[in-house]
Each structure stands twice: as C-alpha cells, then as structure tokens.
Amino acid sequence: MGILVDGVWQEDNLIKNKEDGKFIRPDSAFRDWITTDGSPGPEGQKASPAEKGRYHLYVSLACPWAHRTLITRVLKGLEDMISVSVVHWHMGAQSWNFEDAPGVVADPVMNAQFLHQIYTLAKPGMSGKVTVPVLFDKKERTIINNESSEIIRIFNEAFDDLGALPGHYYPAPLRGEIDEINERIYHTLNNGVYKCGFATTQEAYEEAYVPLFETLDFLEEELSQSDYLVGNQLTEADIRLFPTLIRFDSVYYSHFKCNKKRIQDYPNLHRFVERFMSNQKIAATVNFHHIKHHYYGSHKQINPSGIVPHGPDVMY
C-alpha cells in the first residue's frame, strides 16, 4: 500500500490512526458532478453533461464502497452508457493494480498498470490517497468524482434522459429519512467495521464494536416490519447497506473481530441479503473470491500469514 506525494508514488501505510488508536478515513479528493445538461450539481458543484460512452468507472469487486456504485449502475441500466474496469483483488506495494487475473478488467484509457497512474493523469503532482471507485471522464481525461455516495446519486439522476431504467432511489419525499438512516449506518456499520478492524488499541476497538451491534440490532427490528429500510421500497439506504452485510460473515466477523453475531444469526437481515441476491444483476456484482482474497491477503498488519479461510459455508 502507499500514497501519492507530489505526483510520485511512495510506499506507506495507507491505514491511518489517531494517537488513541482510532481509525481515520480520509476525505475523497474529487467531487465534481454529472448532470443531464451540465448545469451545476445539487450543491453548486462543477458539472459535466451526461453522455453515453463518455464516462468510465474504476472499481474493485472487493471494495464495499465501489460495490454500491456497481449496484446502482445495474439497477439504472447504465451498463451500455458507463464502461467499467476492475482492479486486481490484491493491494500490494503499488496499491490497486490491473494484473491479469479472473475478474480483472483492464484499463482502456491509458492501459495503466496501476490505478495511481489514473490519478496522476487527472491531477499531475497530486498528493493523497488512491481509492476506488473512480468515475472518469474519457473526453476530458480527468476524474469527475471518487466519492461513492455521490457517484450513486449521479447515476440515480443524470442519465434518465438517455434511456436509463426507470426508478428513483433517492426520492424527494423520503430524503430526510434516507439521510438520517444513512448517517447512522455509515458511522457505526459501513465505516464501523473498519473502525473495529483497524483499531490499534483495545479502547478504540470496543468503542466501535458496541455501536456496530446496536445498529445491527436496530436494523433487524426495522426489517421485521418491512422489506426495505425507508418507505418499504428499495432506496439508496438499502443499496448502501447491502455491500457491508454481504461481506460481514466471510470477512468482518473474523478478520475485523466483529464477532458477536453473524448476519446469518439475524433472520430479517439475512432475508434482506437473500432478497438482494435473488436479483441476478445484483448477484453478478458479488465476487467472494475477490472479497476474501483482498481482505485476508492485503491486510498484512492484521493477517500476516495471508492465509484465506475456506469458510463460511453459507455464501448466499
């Protein structure tokens, strides 16, 4: 793993912690937008117009943040409008790379070997982290956005005039509720598993562990009354929850020490995952080989041997 410093790749520990051992997730660097006609984004962001074939998405099949963009892409029917490259599951000294392997899709923009080359193409002299997902503008040869929560909102709205599938996953009447539950799930669960797994003190680990399972208990109760989290309809909140749940039993439970209960032990959460996996397009975005080999093989500070466990048996 490593980081860009003045446009030069330097090997470094990308996992940053405070002095008290708490994991810190850095902010994303690219925050422009795509809109139907190129008018400014929802908060006045610089925007480019939606065009078929102009944009390219870089993802890892292991990464839950990238996974939510793949799910939104297939739900909106954007497969023919936005092309995709998939990095190798192993994050080594050069971080995300395009080494040939099952499931890897090479870079068509500059035939890059490493994702950090796409970052320096977009911003020569850049300093900062290199992450997935990345939404790239092939016409302007620059990165539009690398914040997953914003990319899914771009996909949700910008391409409807170009024939995207109907369906709005951030409907105006439900936005307050969606934002509220997103906030809790992000801090305590989506990012909470990383706070547990990357903690370097017992106190930091326990501080993250307790609210994580309080949120899972809360979600189990919420899903006892409806199939989805908000308005009993599929929304962005569900799309953001699923990638964490699908990785939980095979990775977070053991690798990140989130071992109080499995998702299999929550009947309603388990059914929620099965409901997603019953959609063949969504199921095709799930790759347990990439998921397990990335986490167990890349995080040498947690799993020095790099041994990837065979289990669990239930893989949906």
Query: Which residue numbers are catalytic?
Result: 63, 194
Structure tokens at 55: 């944009």
Where would I find the H helices in 17-135? 64-75, 115-122
Known binder of ligand: residue 129?
yes
Known binder of ligand: residue 132?
yes
Known binder of ligand: residue 33?
no
Instruction: Please tell me the distance from the alpha carbon of residue 3 to that of residue 1, in angstroms, as a whole number.
Output: 7
Known binder of ligand: residue 60?
no
Bridging pattern class, strands 16-17 and 23-24 = antiparallel
Known binder of ligand: residue 147?
yes
* The one-letter amino acid at 272: F
CB 83 within 8 A of CB 106: no
Known binder of ligand: residue 130?
yes
Known binder of ligand: residue 131?
yes
**90: nearest Cα among 271, 229, 295:** 295
Bridging pattern class, strands 55-59 and 82-86 = parallel
Instruction: Please tell me the distance from the alpha carbon of residue 223 to that of residue 242, in angstroms, as a whole number.
Output: 13
CB 261 within 8 A of CB 209: no
Instruction: Please tell me the distance from the alpha carbon of residue 80 to that of residue 145, in angstroms, as a whole number.
Output: 20
Q: Detail the residues annotated as belonging to a binding site for glutathione.
A: 96, 129-132, 147-148
Q: Detail the residues annotated as belonging to a binding site.
A: 96, 129-132, 147-148
